[in-house]
């Protein structure tokens, strides 16, 4: 069973000390969601996760690799 998106968002904020300004709105949106099937405004969780991944290219390291892989697996 996968973790809720809000838990993943919490871990992103803890491990990525200076979140890229372009990725921050999607981290915030994920913090309001449980799954990729949830709705957030005019988007769904899957779209939020995709946009986060597209804007998180500067996030590097072991935590980044692990969390990005977890998010990709959810899609």
In-domain check, residue 42: yes
pLDDT at 75: 95
In-domain check, residue 71: no
Q: What is the pLDDT of residues 18-63, one digit of tens each?
A: 999 999 999 999 999 999 999 999 999 999 999 999 999 999 999 9
Q: Are 45 and 36 in contact (CB under 8 A)?
A: yes
* pTM of full prediction above 0.85: yes
Residue numbers of the domain that contains 31: 5-57
């Amino acid at each position: 069973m996968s973790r809720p998106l809000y838990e993943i968002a919490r871990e992103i904020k803890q491990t990525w000390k200076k979140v890229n300004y372009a990725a921050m709105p999607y981290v915030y949106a994920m913090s309001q969601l449980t799954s990729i099937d949830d709705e957030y405004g005019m988007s769904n969780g899957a779209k939020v996760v995709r946009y986060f991944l597209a804007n998180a290219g500067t996030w590097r390291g072991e935590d980044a690799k692990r969390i990005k892989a977890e998010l990709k697996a959810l899609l």
